[in-house]
Amino acid sequence: MASTFHEFANGADLAEALADKVAKQLSAAISKKGAASIAVSGGSTPKRFFEALSGKDLDWTKVSVTLVDERFVPADSPRSNHLLVATHLLKDKAAATTFIPLYHEAATIDTAAEIATGKTASICNPFDVAILGMGGDGHTASFFPRGNHLAKALNLSTPRGVMTMAAEGAGEERLTFTFSSLSDAPLLVLHIEGQEKKDVLAKAEAGSDEKNMPIRAVLTRAVSPLEIYWAP
Ligand SMILES: O=C1O[C@H](COP(=O)(O)O)[C@@H](O)[C@H](O)[C@H]1O
Give per-residue pLDDT as tens, 79-100. 999 999 999 999 999 999 999 9
**ipTM for the complex shown:** 0.97
pLDDT tens digits for range 168-204? 999 999 999 999 999 999 999 999 999 999 999 999 9
Mutate to test the pocket of ligand 1, among 67, 89, 134 (most ligand atoms within 8 A of CB): 134
CA dihedral (217, 220, 224, 225) positive or negative: positive
Three-state SS for 98?
strand
Predicted model pTM: 0.98
Mean pLDDT of the residues in the chain: 98
Helix (H) or strand (E) holding 227, with range, is strand 226-231
Contact 227, 171 (CB under 8 A): no
Specify burial of residue 198 (Cβ count, 10 A radius: 0-12, 13-18, 19+). middle
State the Cα torsion 201-78-83-38 to the nearest 10°: 20
Q: Nearest Cα to 211, choosing from 169, 161, 160? A: 169
Q: Does the pLDDT at position 1 exceed 70?
A: no
Q: Does the pLDDT at position 44 exceed 70?
A: yes
| Ligand 1 pocket, Cβ-based, cut-off 6 angstroms | 41-45, 68-69, 81, 133, 135
- Quick one: pLDDT at residue 46? 98
77 sits in the region (left: phi over 0; alpha: psi -120 to 50; else beta) called beta
Q: pLDDT grade, residue 57 (50/70/90)?
A: very high
Q: Which CATH class is domain 3-169+194-231?
A: alpha beta
pLDDT tens digits for range 105-147? 999 999 999 999 999 999 999 999 999 999 999 999 999 999 9
Q: What average pLDDT does this structure show over 194-220?
A: 98
Q: Report how far ligand 1's centroid is from the alpha carbon of 135 (Å).
A: 6
Mutate to test the pocket of ligand 1, among 18, 69, 172 (most ligand atoms within 8 A of CB): 69
Mutate to test the pocket of ligand 1, among 139, 142, 189 (most ligand atoms within 8 A of CB): 139
Distance CA 117, CA 123 (A): 10
